[in-house]
Amino acid sequence: MALIDLFLAKRVKRGTLTVHHADGKIRQFGTSHAGFPDVVIRFTDAGAASAIVRDPGIGAGEAYMNGRMVIEQGDARDLVKLLMKNDPWEAGNNALAPSPFTRAVQAVTLRFGRINMARQSKRNVAHHYDLSDRLYDLFLDADRQYSCAYFTDPANSLEAAQADKKAHIAAKLALAPGMSVLDIGCGWGGMALYLHQQTGAEVLGVTLSEEQLKVARERAEAAGVADKVRFELIDYRHVTGKFDRIVSVGMFEHVGPANYTTFFRQCRDMLTDDGVMLLHTIGRAGGPGVTDSWTAKYIFPGGYNPALSEIVSANEGLRFMITDIEVLRLHYGYTLDQWYDRVVAARDEIVALYDERFYRMWQFYLAGAGQSFHYGSMVNYQVQFAKNRHVLPITRDYIVETERALRVQA
């Protein structure tokens, strides 16, 4: 029996995976089970299976991208779901983890890669965010919210869930008329424009993506609020001034553990004495880890999703009070499901923009990321901070009340 067969026999029990080997042999693993997909794959050469066994984390993605592994029944999401649902994070088996040796090599390599000094940070951001505008238009909502949406109902549309996300975050910021806001990692400007529209706040958005900066500025000009909502190409470490509120959505994943304390100290120092901050970030449910090799190589170089303990410990000693923590468990899974569906529907356009290999890479990225929130260790954290423990109400009722009011306004 080939090594890949032994590997799969241990991992696929519910649902079925049929494997057509390059030499013509066919193997089937698992048994059909409600809620689990039945998938058929074919290896086009013997080396593909060996590469996956050596390092499942990078081997499977590369084999799919390069056409060495073809999915003949089901699709990329079905394949990842089948494997991850058979081994959910809560079960503690960790059967899909790379070998201890591979993890040791990854830990050393990726630790250097995620140091993220200022110049490297800009290159890392450009790798992912300076892609064609048209690509993002094909799968994001109209506001280009490229972060976890907030599903008050899993059946909601992507547009509704992203609008609810902005309201949820705005409510936690406890904004008042006349306040100034810093948006760290402002993307294409949607959150900054929303906060000004809903509350009248003056907002400075900062980014390291030249493409995002261009679009954000164009949007502010078109809305006639460029004097109230400004955008700059600047690293968070170099921002000066004082702000009543700071928001950062989907940017902390690019900071790097070595810079966490620097990040929080800088944020604290930029806040007024009654300042409040809301951090929204992907995180890992367990302890500190490493970014998988495939994602680090092809999608987010220098990226790392923190454990909650890393966020908390990096802030200790700064006297920057954590006032609220919320764990969004499944929301990003629902978000990624909708992004994935839109990418698949736009396949021909994406291939025309780039090529077939890029399309398969992007599809595999969204498939793997989505299932990591459904069955893996990924979650989202929203962490609220304040310089003054007395500045916010002592119960969370104000969040619900403000959020409801913002939804009515929208």
What pLDDT shows up at residue 280? 98
Over the stretch 312-338, which tens digit does the pLDDT of each residue have?
999 999 999 999 999 999 999 999 999
| Residues 352 and 239 both lie in one domain | yes
Phi, psi of 72 (to 5 degrees): -100, -20
Contact in structure between 263 and 252 (CB atoms under 8 Å): yes
Name the residue with tokens 């390069």: 66
Could you tell me if 229 and 202 are in contact, meaning their C-beta atoms sit under 8 angstroms apart? Answer: yes
With respect to residue 109, please indicate whether it lies within any of the assigned structural domains.
Answer: no
Q: Does residue 187 sit within a domain?
A: yes
Secondary structure (DSSP) of 140-178:
S-TT---S----SSTTS-HHHHHHHHHHHHHHHHT--TT
Bigger pLDDT: 116 or 58?
A: 58
pLDDT at 56: 84
Q: Are residues 32 and 143 in the same domain?
A: no
Q: How many domains does the chain have?
A: 2
Task: Strand 202-207: give its sheet, edge to edge.
Answer: 229-233, 202-207, 180-184, 243-249, 271-284, 378-386, 321-328
Given 91, 115, 142, which residue is the final one in a domain?
91
Average the pLDDT over each of 18-22, 96-100, 253-257, 259-263 and give the range with the smallest value: 96-100
What pLDDT band is residue 108 in, cutting at 50, 70 and 90? very low
Is the pLDDT at 133 greater than 90, yes or no?
no
Judge whether 219 and 77 are in contact, CB under 8 Å. Answer: no
133 and 72 in a common domain: no
The predicted pLDDT at position 46 comes to 86
Of 91, 115, 150, the last residue of a domain is 91
**Looking at residue 76, which CATH number applies to its domain?**
3.30.1050
Residue (of 135, 138, 136, 160) closest to 150 by Cα position? 160
According to the model, what pLDDT value does residue 107 have? Answer: 47
Structure tokens given for 122 = 């800009």
pLDDT given for residue 132 in this prediction: 80
Specify whether 51 is located in the same domain as 171: no
- Percent of the chain at pLDDT > 70 equals 90
Angle formed at CA 144 by CA 141 and CA 147, multiple of 5 degrees: 95
- Whether residues 185 and 256 share a domain: the answer is yes
The β-bridge partners of 306 are: none
Residue 310 domain-assigned (yes or no): yes
- Examine residue 259 and state whether it is found in any structural domain, yes or no: yes
Measured in degrees and rounded to the nearest 5, phi and psi for residue 207 equal -150, 165
Same domain, 143 and 74: no
What's the distance, Cα to Cα, between the start and end of the chain in Å? Answer: 60
pLDDT digits (tens, 9 = 90+) for 350-382: 999 999 999 999 999 999 999 999 999 999 999
Q: Give 128: exposed, middle or buried? Use CB within 10 Å, 0-12, 13-18, 19+.
A: middle
pLDDT, tens digit (0-9, with 9 covering 90-100), for 276-317: 999 999 999 999 999 988 999 999 888 999 999 999 999 999
- Does residue 151 share a domain with residue 58? no
Is residue 195 within 8 Å of residue 247, measured between CB atoms?
Answer: yes
Residues of the domain holding 256: 128-409
The pLDDT-based confidence of 409 (bands split at 50, 70, 90) is confident
Beginning with the edge strand found earlier in the chain, give each strand of the sheet holding 16-20 in spatial order.
Answer: 26-29, 16-20, 38-43, 69-73
Domain membership flag for residue 97:
no
- Beta strand spans in 250-354 (E): 271-284, 321-328
Tell me the torsion sign for CA atoms 84, 342, 124, 255.
negative
Distance CA 240, CA 251 (A): 19
pLDDT digits (tens, 9 = 90+) for 143-152: 999 999 999 9
The structure's pTM equals: 0.92
Residue-wise pLDDT for 205-245, tens only, equals 999 999 999 999 999 999 999 999 999 999 999 999 999 99
Coil, helix or strand at residue 259: helix
> For residue 104, what pLDDT is reported?
44
What's the pLDDT at 304?
95
Pick the more confident residue, 106 or 349: 349
- The position carrying tokens 């090594």 is 3
User: Given pLDDT bands bounded at 50, 70 and 90, which one contains residue 122?
Assistant: low
Q: What is the pLDDT of residues 35-58, one digit of tens each?
A: 999 999 999 998 999 999 988 889
Alpha-carbon gap, residue 232 to 380, rounded angstroms: 27
Residue 41 lies in a domain: yes
Q: Is 334 in contact with 161 (CB distance < 8 Å)? A: yes
Same domain, 157 and 242: yes
Whether 357 is in a domain gets the answer: yes
Q: What CATH code is carried by the domain that includes residue 162?
A: 3.40.50.150
Q: Are residues 86 and 133 in the same domain?
A: no
What value does the mean pLDDT of the chain take? 92
Q: Which long-range contacts (CB under 8 A, 24 or more apart) does 24-32 make?
A: 29/5, 30/82, 30/86
Residues 140 and 57 in one domain: no
pLDDT of residue 410: 66
SS3 307: strand
Of 71, 91, 111, the last residue of a domain is 91
Cβ-based neighbour number of residue 319 at 10 Å: 8
390 and 309 housed in the same domain: yes
* Same domain membership, residue 368 and residue 319: yes
Confidence of residue 106 (pLDDT cuts 50, 70, 90): very low
Inside any domain, residue 22: yes
